[in-house]
Amino acid sequence: MSSRIPFNRPCLAGNEYQYIAEAIANGHASGDGPFTHRCSELLKQELVVPEVLLTPSCTDALEMAALLLNCGPDDEVIVPSFTFVSTANAFALRGARIVFADIRPDTLNLDETRLEALITRRTKAVVPVHYAGVSCAMDEILSMAKCHGVKVVEDNAHGLFSRFKGRYTGTFGCLATQSFHETKNFTCGEGGALIVNDPDLVERALIIRDKGTNRSRFYRGQVDKYTWVDLGSSYLLSDFLAAFLYAQLEAREQIQTKRLRVWNYYYGQLHDWAQSGEVKLPVVPADCEHSSHMFYLLMPSREDRDSLIAHLKENDILSVFHYVPLHLSDAGKTFMARQTDCHVAEGVSERLLRLPFYNDLTDSELSLVVDTVRRFSVRSECKN
């Protein structure tokens, strides 16, 4: 049964139907068509990066990254335990062993102070996730990775147009991945992108996304027929979806302004209530500009979190929890290189809930959510 205020709702930016009609008229329904190029060019120019390849999902972009880095059974890849399955699964698919890193209690991002202890001579890559579109501490992560010859792949699923020290997230690692899934700021239902920051990886990325063929070279007239040259898969986004996405990317300022309004409203209206109940609100360090991707509450205990979700549901408002720590999952235990201590991730996972968040949340919906949350009284003592 749908809620009066859902957790997420698809919102149109304006030109979606027109562009889909154009895409149909173009007669190019498969990948790598005119709208795919328009999205890629827009993102390349805005982010100032060598290549952006649209993919059917962020999961696919992560799988491309694992292929591009030749990850295999001799390698270890460090990922935060508090993340979506795909961040780890993409590398486990190539046979790499996963090393789970704990997160910081403030930003809920990979804890850079505990990273170096996880690096071994087998470490191939580290995958920082910019949780809720708040950047990880990229200076420390990049310098540690450089010092140990480890590649950095940013999982920027939440963070398109977030900044760290004025520079966009997704532009720091040799590779970065984006999601255009329905819950993200910019969406086409299901979609993603691989940002290729290392120019040496561009040519092979084009091969991997097109079933391991050199079809891009064929289109450029560099070979007279195309053939199978490497491993790859079908990582192209339909141009119909790219058309929808282009309408959203084109309206990026309008979308980000709307989302920042929602985020600021929640923060401003819940601040005193949170303090009095020892509830924590999102933390944004001074050198970060977040993407207004989500708004979460960190309750003092699991009981309070579950009761607040139930209280909101009774009032027809859908709030949701987030990741179950991967090091506790069956597959996490199977594919981990070794046990690691991720107690912060465990505590956060039990206590976090996300409030409804979409571009067109109205004033009355926002005030109803806030009033309903404020009527809830926290019962437990804070656990940290």
Summarize as ranges the residues that interact with ligand PLP (CB under 6 A). 57-59, 83-84, 86-87, 129, 155, 157, 179, 181, 192
CB of 296 to ligand PLP, least distance (A): 13
Cα first-last separation, the chain = 36
Query: Which is nearer to ligand PLP, 60 or 250 (by Cβ)?
Result: 60
CB of 65 to ligand PLP, least distance (A): 11
CA dist 30 to 34, 64, 275, Å? 10, 19, 52
Query: Which is nearer to ligand PLP, 93 or 229 (by Cβ)?
Result: 93
CB of 62 to ligand PLP, least distance (A): 7
Q: Return d(Cα 332, Cα 324) in angstroms, integer.
A: 11
CB of 211 to ligand PLP, least distance (A): 19
Query: Which is nearer to ligand PLP, 252 or 374 (by Cβ)?
Result: 252
CA dist 308 to 224, 320, 354, 378, Å? 63, 10, 11, 9
- What the block records as the tokens of 376 is 């809830």
CB of 56 to ligand PLP, least distance (A): 8
Query: Which is nearer to ligand PLP, 83 or 372 (by Cβ)?
Result: 83
Q: Which H helix or E strand runs over 260?
A: helix 252-276
Instruction: Please say whether the beta carbons of 280 and 347 come within 8 A.
Output: no
Query: Which is nearer to ligand PLP, 59 or 319 (by Cβ)?
Result: 59
Q: How many CB atoms lie within 10 A of CB 139?
A: 13
Judged by DSSP in three states, 268 sits in helix
Query: Which is nearer to ligand PLP, 352 or 366 (by Cβ)?
Result: 352
CB of 18 to ligand PLP, least distance (A): 25
Place of tokens 């329905």: 182
- What the block records as the tokens of 350 is 């039990």
